[in-house]
Amino acid sequence: MDIQIGPHLYRNSNGIIDIEGVPQLECAPRPSGGFPNVNFALFDAAGKMPAKLTNNTLAINEGRAYTVERNASSLVMRHHESGKDVLRMALEQDGRLVISHGEFHTLKAHLLTITPSEWTLEKTTGQQGETDLKGQPVSLG
């Protein structure tokens, strides 16, 4: 599966995104096609999990703090009170999954920020480029 995070394209991944060594986001293609099933663990700054997305649906949502909007080609997870996008994904015509915006904490309580021009985690920044993963997970941090 080809996954673009910000401006960087990760070709031929297995759909898992490891962040600081932890599989925090998983994207699994559906046999029937369409938007993939997304599993995502959201952590707060203290390392607690206030929300969890399972197959594109909020399975955990403490205090109803998050909303998910989805359709056949996109998914947006948003913090209800602030209106800030936690995760914005779109399935492109060529089958590439694009994560264009995001702002969330890792299990280690570090902030990952994704914009169309870069992704940033601690002192690591990913910019324009392409990596062939040969069936391995995307690894950030």
pLDDT digits (tens, 9 = 90+) for 59-71: 999 999 999 999 9
In this prediction, residue 106 has a pLDDT band, given cuts at 50, 70 and 90, of very high
Instruction: Count, in order, helices (H) and strands (E) of the chain.
Output: 0, 16
Give this prediction's pTM. 0.93
Q: Is 62 helix (H, G, I), strand (E, B) or coil?
A: helix
For residues 14 and 52, give the distance between their C-alpha atoms in angstroms, rounded to a whole number: 20
CB 130 within 8 A of CB 11: yes
